[in-house]
Amino acid sequence: MLALNLAWCAALLIAETRWPRFRYDIRRWSTVFPLGMTAVASLSTAAATKIDWLHTLGQVLLWIALATWVLAFAGFVRKISAR
Give residue 26's pLDDT band: very low, low, confident or very high (50, 70, 90).
confident
- Integer-rounded Cα radius of gyration of the chain: 14
Q: How many domains does the chain have?
A: 1
pTM of the predicted protein model:
0.83
pLDDT in the model for residue 39 = 94
**Would the CA dihedral through 82, 74, 13, 2 be positive or negative?**
negative
Share of the chain above pLDDT 90, in %: 60
**Please, which residues have CB within 8 angstroms of residue 43's CB and are 6 or more apart in sequence?**
55, 58, 59, 62
What's the domain range around 41? Answer: 2-82
φ, ψ at 26 (rounded to 5°): -60, -25
pLDDT tier for residue 5 given thresholds of 50, 70 and 90:
confident
